[in-house]
Structure 1
Amino acid sequence: MEQSQLLTLLEGKRDAFVSGEEISRLLGVSRTAVWKQIRKLEAEGFAIEAVPRKGYRLTGRPSRLNAAELQSKLGTTAFGRHLHIREVVTSTQDVLRKLAEEGAPEGTLVIAERQDNGRGRMGRSWVSPPGRGVSMSLLMRPDVPLQLAPQLTLLAAVALCRSLGRETGLPIGIKWPNDLLVDGRKISGILLESATEDERLRYVAVGLGIAVNLDADDYPEELLARAVSLKMAAGRAFDRTALIAAVLLEFEQLYAVYKERGFEPIRILWETYSVTLNRTVALNAGQGFFEGVPRGLDESGGLRVELPDGGVRTIYSAEIGDAAPLPDAKG
């Protein structure tokens, strides 16, 4: 039995329930096979109501992104104007890098409804059921030296934070360097991968993952304490096309500011939206944990951390967590 056969059957019944027994008989498969295909359809973003002794009913289809609709909403000059929307990819980063090597222009955008191998920082995976989140990669060709690449990560974080905050009304903050949080839970991931030549950046693939309309049961249980969607946080669903258009416009405008005035305006904005600064945190920069108080960014994009002895250490890559609690006082 193919998913298309089951979907056609459910759609043909419109709003009526179809029992598992009837589906089995009509399609010539076992009840177990029916259940497995139902689960696969749900994973694809179809909403299917299951009621004991009644059966299954299709109540909603995944919302598919449409290239013409998205481009009609764009206010950008370059970002998103060369657009590739795919149903399934291994990773939007992989597709974009191939296009970049073939000479794709700056602003080329790849969006996928489903990634089979989507990835984030530190090799982590990203949860994004079809039709509910945004998984996209944007091509940049900045004329900057390799050592300034961290600035682009911070630029991406500011652009995403400002645009999503404006569109949703949520109190979104940036955890260093580029995680976006709502009330301490992550709603977005950013991954920059670059190609270099002679200590210059040839291009940068900016991967953006946004948890838009996910529900609690879309997340593995172990992630619910650390992750949340815009829908869960705001109590309402959002138009993914409008969000993408808003993100691209903010990103392009800030990128223009960066090229004209350098990193300083981006640094100020990042510090304004940061939830990392001026509190004691634990950091792991690859050589063991240490504690300190992040005070701000330096001119290259590194995080300046004040150490317990009063010294300052600048880091460019680290995991940040809560500091260890103080021991209970003994009477």
Structure 2
Amino acid sequence: MEELFTLTPACDTVLTYMKTLVNNTYQVLRCLRGAGVVSGQNLSRRLGISRVGVWKHVQELRRQGYCIESSPTGYRLLSAPDLLLPGEFPGWEDRIYHFHEVDSTMRIARELARGDAEEGTLVLAESQSQGRGRLDRVWLSPPGGIYLTLVTRPKISPALATRVSLVASVSVATALRENLGVPACVKWPNDVLVGGRKVCGILAEMEAEPDAVRYINIGIGVNVNTPADPQLPAAVSLVELVGRPVDRREVTMRIVTDLLRRLRELTSASCLNIWRELSGTIGREVCVRQDNETICGVAVDIQESGALVVQAADGRRTAVVAGDCTYEGT
């Protein structure tokens, strides 16, 4: 699904039908990948659909940007578009909602989560017109970046929800380090930095009962192949860091699969230990601005809840649950 839409209860049947069509289309794509020329008859037999049906699915793939050559002997996949289409994530097609442009992936994911979308449902956009970060700040979302929201349903107490953002930042930093060799670090509460410049922002949104989480949607925006903006010197993109275009599909899949794995270990001490190892905040002189006060001192640790522990010059320690954290070089 690639067009803007607003979900309503009446959409359920339509969405199920559309998902069936999508699955058939991507089954054709799977058969064509790395297979050379595949005859229409072969595709028809393998997928249990008519040759006319095969042709319609090929036309749909072409509409999405796949270059597929037709000949008397069959079809051959020549190239795929540089888009985060469901077909670029084999095995995940039926849980991905892709948009060329959307106001906000968080809005779409919120409606999906309220409609009982399963954990692992992923909303992807090539660009956003109303992307937002923490404190309702604008997150510029031009083509070339990764803009996603992942629906999660962790079985945790709402008191541990802060850990989700920490774990998400670890997944992003780990992906950039291991896939690209980029020395990414995490900044409390939910940013990923390289050399003090922001490469990724994370936003988590929760709906919960007093004793249980209903869902936590995790929004992630990564500057990937976006050009440098002189007006945003505190930001950096991966293409600047590695000196070549980066495969967005590979980075997206690595982040999402790593994050889902880490969320299963959310209540263990190890998830916080890894954050500490990757932290660019611990040991720094920081100032955390809140609505009514600013707390300054040395960031010495994070608590089990994910709160940042700041030690003032007089030795007094304060656990900060939320706020805007700044330190030299950021």
Q: Under TM normalisation by the shorter chain, which class is it?
A: 0.7 to 0.9
Which among 131, 149, 171 is matched to residue 118 of structure 1? 131
Shift of 1:81: 5.6
Say whether 1:288 aligns with 2:293.
yes
Which among 220, 229, 235 is matched to residue 237 of structure 2? 229
* Identity value in percent: 34
Alpha carbons 2:154, 2:264 under 8 Å: kept:
no
Shift of 1:323: 6.1
Root-mean-square deviation (CA), in Å? 1.9
Query: How many pairs align?
Result: 250
Instruction: Specify the code of the residue in structure 2 equivalent to 1:212.
Output: V
Which among 157, 178, 181 is matched to residue 166 of structure 1? 178
Alpha carbons 1:142, 1:203 under 8 Å: kept:
yes
SS of the residue 1:301 aligns to: coil
Shift of 1:97: 0.8
Say whether 1:254 aligns with 2:255.
no
Say whether 1:71 aligns with 2:94.
no
Alpha carbons 2:205, 2:218 under 8 Å: kept:
yes
SS of the residue 1:253 aligns to: helix
Shift of 1:191: 0.3
Alpha carbons 1:160, 1:247 under 8 Å: kept:
yes
Separation in 2 of the partners of 1:263 and 1:312?
24
Task: Write out aligned runs for 1:23-62 (5 A).
Answer: none
The equivalent of 2:309 in structure 1 is 304
The equivalent of 2:246 in structure 1 is 238
The equivalent of 1:197 in structure 2 is 209
Instruction: Specify the code of the residue in structure 1 equivalent to 2:82.
Output: S
Alpha carbons 2:198, 2:234 under 8 Å: kept:
yes
Say whether 1:87 aligns with 2:92.
no
TM-score of the two chains, using structure 2 as the length reference: 0.72
Separation in 1 of the partners of 2:194 and 2:214?
34
SS of the residue 2:300 aligns to: strand
Shift of 1:128: 2.2
Which among 269, 278, 281 is matched to residue 274 of structure 2? 269
Say whether 1:183 aligns with 2:202.
no
What runs of 5+ residues in structure 2 fail to find an aligned partner?
1-80
Shift of 1:159: 1.1
Instruction: Specify the code of the residue in structure 2 equivalent to 1:291.
Output: C
Separation in 2 of the partners of 1:184 and 1:96?
30
Separation in 2 of the partners of 1:197 and 1:256?
20
Separation in 2 of the partners of 1:66 and 1:290?
44
Separation in 1 of the partners of 2:297 and 2:260?
34
The equivalent of 1:208 in structure 2 is 220
Shift of 1:204: 0.8
Say whether 1:136 aligns with 2:148.
yes
Shift of 1:318: 1.5
Extract structure 1 runs of 4+ deviating beyond 3 A: none
Instruction: Specify the code of the residue in structure 2 equivalent to 1:241.
Output: R
Alpha carbons 1:263, 1:299 under 8 Å: kept:
no
Instruction: Specify the code of the residue in structure 1 equivalent to 2:86.
Output: A
SS of the residue 1:294 aligns to: strand
The equivalent of 2:157 in structure 1 is 145
Separation in 2 of the partners of 1:205 and 1:160?
16
Deviation sequence 1:14-38 (CA, Å, 0-9, x none)? xxxxxxxxxxxxxxxxxxxxxxxxx
Shift of 1:286: 2.4
Alpha carbons 2:129, 2:141 under 8 Å: kept:
no
Alpha carbons 1:159, 1:247 under 8 Å: kept:
yes
Alpha carbons 1:118, 1:125 under 8 Å: kept:
yes
Separation in 1 of the partners of 2:302 and 2:87?
40
SS of the residue 1:142 aligns to: coil
The equivalent of 1:154 in structure 2 is 166
SS of the residue 1:266 aligns to: helix
SS of the residue 1:147 aligns to: helix
Which among 100, 116, 126 is matched to residue 113 of structure 2? 100
Separation in 2 of the partners of 1:177 and 1:114?
25
What runs of 5+ residues in structure 1 fail to find an aligned partner?
1-61, 75-79, 325-331
